[in-house]
């Protein structure tokens, strides 16, 4: 096929797609250009399907150091494991493209997006999404939809569509929406704090404003995806012949289960505990297997499991849609019972054990100085950046009753930690000069563990006495619909996530939304459903915030908290605090067991230590240093005689204390016209001596004796 160049201008983006130029052995490939950014997206498919009932899709977004004209730092001079930004971008692409594959598609597919050339003004996540979608749509894989990503920002109450990275830095909103046609497939949003008239503003979004902004995004997506689909049709490859796996269906077996075990399945579904529900369903399956075998037939365990799961799903959804009954007996808008314990770990700066139903998160807060921040690189940044607020999410296997060894955090863990960070960060003090690390250990999980991390994290910050404007709570919403009727579920558990149609996580304060993340399992979401979900989530969020506020009333300060004090000084005092060769500041640090940071730009000194008494003593010592008047060196008249005092006698001369208190060197060669080789016995420390100033250059003064000039 001949090379094709397609240029598309839409939503403030000028994009060029090159097809049939590179990677021609891949199922689909495109060279994507936007500004100086060049990305290669390639799609490959394994012709042998997997036996399991799932889509084995892998997305790999990689940034090459040469794309920014750099050599990788560190000992190994090549790219190694992906960074957090690369992993999170891969996850966004995966979540957006996965719904486009046809049902029953079980062939392994790998989508690789490589940044070949960077541009500091181009949004790499939007670029990577468009490149991956174009490569997939024009490949020989039977995917017949193309997606569009649009990022919206807000500056001075003006909504910007696909702002540049420079504009994003000043935006109070970061909203990424991915969709196809009129369908929204994925949403990620967070707000940014700002400072107005010296007052910090978190900039939460109210529900109505968010709906208006999403409407702008939806119209932009419809326009862009329509353009992509129309222009890419002519370069779309002929689809390969593949067989889509058919669901293992046995209508007779399904009816057998429905007729004979309906009560048992319904009872199992409504078991209160997750473990009880799982065991009850296993018992039902064993009974079905035994009854089939007793009838003289050989039961197919896999088929029985499949039909039982299908029937169980229909029971769960029917209870909700027809009877407004959830598996655990809650009302559709009801939040599970919440229990909160703060500062339960005596040696930790701040801790919170947050339990909601059968989901439990132990969140700890650790405070450090600016040196404890995490350095990282972005392809569009010319220098290293530093992260002073970190949220790390861990999901050990025992939290879901599984016996598996510990492993490094995966994409899910990084994604949940990033969502919690984006939810909490807008409420932190913009002017903080230290580092804060939150760690969430999920001890038990039955849905919504990331939202438990947000709630526990907000309280852990308070327990560590970190300056925050407001408490933040998070809640996960679900959806069950039959196409006509729908029910929105508050605070979904694992069963409702698995058998439902939506996973919608929303975080915020009492005044509005700080972050959200939505994945749709359907083709899209109706505006009415979205509105209902947002307002129902608000009710649940406010309920949780009230319980969190009550928990704060019983908060006991941690004994492990470090003590710190910060104060302004005159820039002229900094050399005195540091001392010659850093001797004075080292002496203070060692004597009082504290750390001292001096901010030369803002003339600020910060002292931190484990003991408040030591910190105050160190400050008093520094106050003594800076209270001593700063001596100013006088300007001497050349060839004029002055009287000084001998401070020290050395082999090469004497140090003389001048009338202004500063020391100057009288070299042995300038003591007498006779070339004497030693001063031993000639002069004593403390004696007065007449000297003549020969030359002065700044603080350096050249001296001689009157005898030298005779």
pLDDT for 511 equals 93
Which of the listed residues 511, 533, 553 is the one where a domain comes to its end?
553
- 430 and 369, same structural domain? yes
**Does residue 198 surpass a pLDDT of 70?**
no
In 3D space, the residue among 475, 498, 478 whose CA is nearest the CA of residue 489 turns out to be 478
- 226 and 267, same structural domain? no
**Does residue 143 surpass a pLDDT of 60?**
yes
Contact 471, 549 (CB under 8 A): yes
Where do we find the tokens 């709630």? 455
Contacts (Cβ under 8 Å, ≥6 apart) of 286? none
Instruction: Say how far apart CA 224 and CA 10 lie, in whole Å.
Output: 6
Contacts (Cβ under 8 Å, ≥6 apart) of 107? 45, 46, 47, 48, 49, 50, 56, 242
Length of the chain counted residue by residue: 710
Contacts (Cβ under 8 Å, ≥6 apart) of 326? 319, 320, 332, 489, 496
- 126 and 66, same structural domain? yes
Instruction: Say how far apart CA 417 and CA 413 lie, in whole Å.
Output: 6
> Cα 113 to chain center, whole Å?
21
- Proportion of the chain above pLDDT 70, given as a percent: 97
pLDDT band for position 272 (cuts 50, 70, 90):
low
Instruction: Say how far apart CA 110 and CA 199 lie, in whole Å.
Output: 48
Q: Is 256 helix (H, G, I), strand (E, B) or coil?
A: helix
Q: Tell me the range of 390-404, 563-577, 579-593, 658-672 where mean pLDDT is highest.
A: 390-404
**Does residue 630 surpass a pLDDT of 70?**
no
**Does residue 65 surpass a pLDDT of 70?**
yes
If residue 650 lies in a helix (H) or strand (E), which one and from where to where? strand 641-650
- 420 and 317, same structural domain? no
In 3D space, the residue among 29, 28, 34 whose CA is nearest the CA of residue 7 turns out to be 34
Determine how β-strand 389-394 pairs with β-strand 434-444: parallel
Which of the listed residues 532, 553, 574 is the one where a domain comes to its end?
553
- 489 and 594, same structural domain? no
In 3D space, the residue among 703, 628, 692, 634 whose CA is nearest the CA of residue 665 turns out to be 703
Establish if 289 belongs to a structural domain.
yes
pLDDT for 302 equals 81
Establish if 636 belongs to a structural domain.
no
User: HEC states along 317-357?
Assistant: HHHHHHHCCCCCCCCCCCCCCEEEEECCCCCCCEEEEEEEC
- 355 and 257, same structural domain? no
Please give the mean pLDDT across all residues of the chain. Answer: 89
- 107 and 82, same structural domain? yes
- Return the ∠ at Cα 40 (arms to 227 and 412), rounded to 5°: 90
Establish if 355 belongs to a structural domain.
yes
pLDDT band for position 625 (cuts 50, 70, 90):
confident
pLDDT for 325 equals 84
Domain enclosing residue 314, as ranges = 251-323
Establish if 170 belongs to a structural domain.
no
Instruction: Say how far apart CA 648 and CA 659 lie, in whole Å.
Output: 16
- Return the ∠ at Cα 350 (arms to 345 and 354), rounded to 5°: 75
pLDDT band for position 151 (cuts 50, 70, 90):
very high
- 696 and 619, same structural domain? no
Q: How many H-runs (helices) and E-runs (strands) does the chain carry? A: 16, 31
Instruction: Say how far apart CA 303 and CA 284 lie, in whole Å.
Output: 14
Q: Is 201 helix (H, G, I), strand (E, B) or coil?
A: strand
Q: Whole-model pTM?
A: 0.81
In 3D space, the residue among 134, 111, 115 whose CA is nearest the CA of residue 125 turns out to be 115
pLDDT digits (tens, 9 = 90+) for 35-49: 999 999 999 999 999
Which CATH number do you get for residue 310?
1.10.10.400
Contacts (Cβ under 8 Å, ≥6 apart) of 389? 421, 424, 425, 428, 435, 436, 437
pLDDT for 81 equals 87
Establish if 196 belongs to a structural domain.
no
> Cα 134 to chain center, whole Å?
28
Establish if 533 belongs to a structural domain.
yes
Domain count, the chain: 5
Alpha carbon distances (Å) from 574 to 392, 600, 662: 37, 8, 18
- 686 and 589, same structural domain? no
Which CATH number do you get for residue 686?
2.40.50.140
**Does residue 84 surpass a pLDDT of 80?**
yes
Contact 686, 657 (CB under 8 A): no
Establish if 378 belongs to a structural domain.
yes
pLDDT for 347 equals 92
Instruction: Say how far apart CA 421 and CA 454 lie, in whole Å.
Output: 8
pLDDT for 629 equals 64
- 568 and 549, same structural domain? no
Query: Average pLDDT, stretch 457-482?
Result: 92
**Does residue 201 surpass a pLDDT of 80?**
no
Which of the listed residues 259, 290, 323 is the one where a domain comes to its end?
323
pLDDT for 628 equals 66
pLDDT for 660 equals 80
**Does residue 452 surpass a pLDDT of 70?**
yes
Instruction: Say how far apart CA 390 and CA 392 lie, in whole Å.
Output: 6
Query: Average pLDDT, stretch 7-17?
Result: 95
The one-character DSSP state at 52 is S
Q: Tell me the range of 134-138, 522-526, 610-614 where mean pLDDT is highest.
A: 134-138
- 347 and 228, same structural domain? no
Q: What is the dihedral sign for C-alpha 403, 409, 413, 417?
A: positive
pLDDT for 627 equals 77
pLDDT for 161 equals 95
Query: Average pLDDT, stretch 93-116?
Result: 94
- 531 and 406, same structural domain? yes
Establish if 161 belongs to a structural domain.
no
DSSP string computed for 348-412: SSEEEEEEETTEEEEEEEEEEEGGGPEEE--TT-SS-EEESEEEEEE--GGGGT---------HH
pLDDT for 662 equals 80
Which CATH number do you get for residue 21?
3.30.230.70
Helix, strand, coil distribution of the chain in percent, nearest 5 = 35, 30, 35
Q: How many CA atoms lie within 13 A of 217 on its CB side?
A: 31
pLDDT digits (tens, 9 = 90+) for 535-552: 999 999 999 999 999 999
């Amino acid at each position: 096929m001949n090379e094709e160049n397609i240029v598309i201008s839409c939503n403030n983006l000028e994009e060029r797609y090159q097809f049939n130029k590179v990677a021609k052995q891949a199922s689909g490939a495109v060279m994507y250009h936007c500004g100086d950014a060049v990305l290669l997206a390639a799609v490959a498919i394994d012709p042998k399907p997997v036996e399991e009932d799932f889509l084995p899709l892998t997305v790999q977004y990689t940034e090459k150091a040469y794309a920014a004209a750099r050599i990788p730092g560190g000992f190994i001079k090549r790219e190694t494991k992906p960074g957090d930004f690369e992993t999170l971008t891969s996850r966004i692409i995966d979540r957006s493209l996965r719904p486009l594959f046809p049902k029953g598609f079980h062939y392994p597919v790998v989508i690789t997006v490589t940044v070949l050339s960077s541009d500091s003004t181009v949004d790499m996540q939007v670029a990577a999404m468009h490149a991956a979608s174009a490569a997939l749509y024009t490949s020989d894989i039977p995917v017949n939809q193309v997606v569009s990503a649009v990022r919206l920002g807000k500056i001075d109450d003006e909504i910007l569509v696909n702002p540049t990275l420079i504009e994003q830095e000043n935006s109070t909103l970061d909203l990424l929406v991915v969709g196809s046609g009129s369908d929204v497939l994925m949403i990620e949003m967070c707000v940014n704090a700002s400072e107005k008239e010296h007052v910090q503003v978190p900039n939460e979004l109210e529900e109505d404003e968010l709906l208006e902004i999403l409407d702008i995004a939806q119209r932009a997506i419809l326009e862009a995806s329509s353009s992509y689909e129309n222009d890419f049709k002519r370069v779309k490859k002929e689809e390969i012949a593949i067989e889509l796996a058919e669901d293992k269906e046995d209508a007779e077996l399904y009816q057998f289960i429905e007729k004979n075990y309906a009560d048992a399945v319904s009872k199992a579904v409504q078991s209160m505990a997750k473990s009880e529900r799982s065991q009850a369903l296993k018992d039902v399956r064993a009974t079905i297997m035994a009854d089939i075998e007793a009838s003289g037939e050989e039961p197919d365990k896999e088929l029985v499991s499949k039909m039982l799961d299908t029937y169980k799903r229909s029971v769960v959804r029917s209870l909700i849609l027809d009877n407004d009954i959830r598996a655990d007996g809650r009302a559709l808008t009801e939040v599970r019972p919440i229990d909160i314990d703060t500062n339960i770990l005596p040696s930790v700066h701040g801790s919170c054990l947050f339990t909601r139903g059968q989901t439990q998160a132990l969140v700890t807060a650790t405070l450090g100085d600016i040196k404890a921040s995490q350095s990282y690189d972005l392809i569009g940044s010319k220098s290293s950046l530093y992260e002073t607020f970190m949220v790390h999410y861990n999901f050990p296997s025992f939290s879901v009753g599984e016996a598996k060894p510990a492993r490094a955090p995966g994409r899910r863990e990084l994604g949940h930690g990033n969502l919690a960070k984006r939810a909490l960060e807008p409420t932190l003090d913009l002017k903080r000069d230290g580092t804060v690390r939150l760690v969430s250990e999920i001890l038990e999980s039955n849905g919504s563990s990331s939202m438990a991390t947000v709630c526990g994290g907000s309280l852990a910050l308070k327990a560590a006495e970190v300056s925050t404007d407001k408490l933040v709570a998070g809640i996960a919403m679900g959806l069950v619909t039959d196409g006509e009727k729908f029910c929105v579920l508050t605070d979904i558990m694992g069963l409702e996530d698995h058998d439902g149609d939506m996973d919608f996580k929303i975080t915020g304060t009492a005044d509005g939304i700080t972050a959200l993340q939505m994945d749709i399992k359907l083709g899209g979401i109706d505006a009415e459903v979205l509105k209902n979900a947002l307002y129902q989530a608000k009710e649940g969020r406010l309920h949780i915030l009230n319980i969190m506020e009550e928990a704060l009333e019983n908060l006991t300060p941690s004994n492990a908290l470090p003590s710190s004090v910060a104060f302004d000084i005159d820039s002229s005092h900094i050399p005195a605090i540091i001392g010659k060769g850093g001797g004075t500041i080292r002496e203070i640090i060692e004597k009082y067991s504290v750390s001292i940071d001096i901010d030369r730009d803002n003339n600020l000194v910060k002292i931190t230590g484990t003991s408040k008494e030591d910190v105050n003593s160190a400050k008093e010592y520094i106050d003594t240093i800076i209270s001593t008047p700063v001596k100013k060196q006088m300007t001497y008249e050349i060839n004029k005689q002055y009287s000084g005092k001998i401070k020290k006698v050395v082999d090469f001369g004497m140090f003389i204390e001048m009338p202004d208190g500063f020391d100057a060197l009288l070299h042995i060669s300038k003591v007498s016209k006779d070339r004497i080789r030693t001063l031993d016995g000639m002069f004593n420390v403390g004696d007065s001596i007449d000297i003549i100033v020969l030359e002065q250059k700044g603080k350096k003064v050249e001296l001689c004796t009157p005898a030298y000039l005779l």
